Amino acid sequence: MVKKLAREFYLQDTLTAAKELLGHFLVRVDAQGEAICGMITETEAYIGATDKACHAYGGRRTPRTEPLFAAGGISYVYLIYGMYHCFNVVTEAENVPSAVLVRGVAIVSGQEAAAQNRYGRSFAALTPKQRRDMSNGPGKLCRALAIDKSLNRADLRGEELFIAEEFEGRKRTAAPMITSKRIGIDYAEEAKDFPWRFQQATEPLKERM
């Protein structure tokens, strides 16, 4: 049983969507038809209208930022630092550039395929540290789920990549949430202090804040 999130979910307020996405399942079906499913554990909101950290701040519209201006419900994937991809969920109405960056997921099924994508070796051969670090960062989760620019603008209710509230018998469970400042955006002046980072406190977080 798979319950994909309704289109309306993506049209709502970005901060609400960022919090609500925690605990939902990000599912990637690769070229072999194999599903990798990760529970979303960390997100950040990027809201173009007020947010200097957002690529589309002030209505900056380029070929790269174009997906941010579309109506919610598609992906925005881009390359950062020349070698890593970041996966975002586009939110809100058309011409309102805003999105939720998915910073971390916990792989709940398809571990074998994810381990191959990430490390090129079988899951059984991974060290505990490698298993822990499989997908706890935006660049890492994209590698584990084989997300690259070919999935930019993908429909998040489609077949290759989608977000579900229920997947293969797993349902979303409510969990305590941690709110904090976003990281890696020191250039964004006052916007860098916005408390727009959300983590689900299911497993022990080795965060030092």
Cβ atoms of 181 and 44 within 8 Å: the answer is no
Mark the segment that binds DNA (CB under 7 A) among 8-16, 55-63, 153-161, 195-203.
55-63
At residue 45, the 3 state secondary structure works out as strand
Task: List the one residue from 55, 72, 110, 163 that touches DNA (CB under 7 A).
Answer: 55
Mark the segment that binds DNA (CB under 7 A) among 23-31, 48-56, 108-116, 197-205.
48-56
Task: List the one residue from 22, 86, 107, 147 that touches DNA (CB under 7 A).
Answer: 86
Mark the segment that binds DNA (CB under 7 A) among 8-16, 81-89, 109-117, 162-170.
81-89
Residue 1 engages DNA in binding (rule: CB under 7 A):
no
Burial class (CB in 10 A: 0-12, 13-18, 19+), 166: middle
3-state percent breakdown (helix, strand, coil) of the chain, nearest 5: 25, 30, 40
Mark the segment that binds DNA (CB under 7 A) among 11-19, 25-33, 82-90, 170-178.
82-90
| Residue 64 vs 170, nearer CB to DNA | 64
Give the torsion sign (CA, 20, 53, 160, 137). Answer: negative
Cβ atoms of 164 and 24 within 8 Å: the answer is yes
Shortest Cβ distance from residue 97 to DNA (Å)?
9
Using CB under 7 A as the binding rule, the residues of this chain from 126 to 165 that contact DNA are 133, 137-141
DSSP 125: G
72-99: buried (b, 16+ CB within 10 Å) or exposed (e) per residue? bbbbbbbeeeeeebbbbbbbbeeebbbb
Mark the segment that binds DNA (CB under 7 A) among 6-14, 105-113, 166-174, 180-188.
180-188
Task: List the one residue from 2, 30, 64, 158 that touches DNA (CB under 7 A).
Answer: 64
Structural Rg of the chain based on CA atoms = 16
Residue 123 engages DNA in binding (rule: CB under 7 A):
no
* CB neighbour list of residue 22: distance below 8 Å, 6 or more residues apart: 40, 41, 42, 43, 175, 177, 198, 199, 200
Task: List the one residue from 2, 84, 165, 166 that touches DNA (CB under 7 A).
Answer: 84
Cβ atoms of 35 and 110 within 8 Å: the answer is yes
Residue 187 engages DNA in binding (rule: CB under 7 A):
yes
Q: Which residues bind DNA (CB under 7 A)?
A: 44, 46, 53-55, 60, 62-65, 76, 79-84, 86, 88, 99, 101, 133, 137-141, 183-185, 187-188, 208
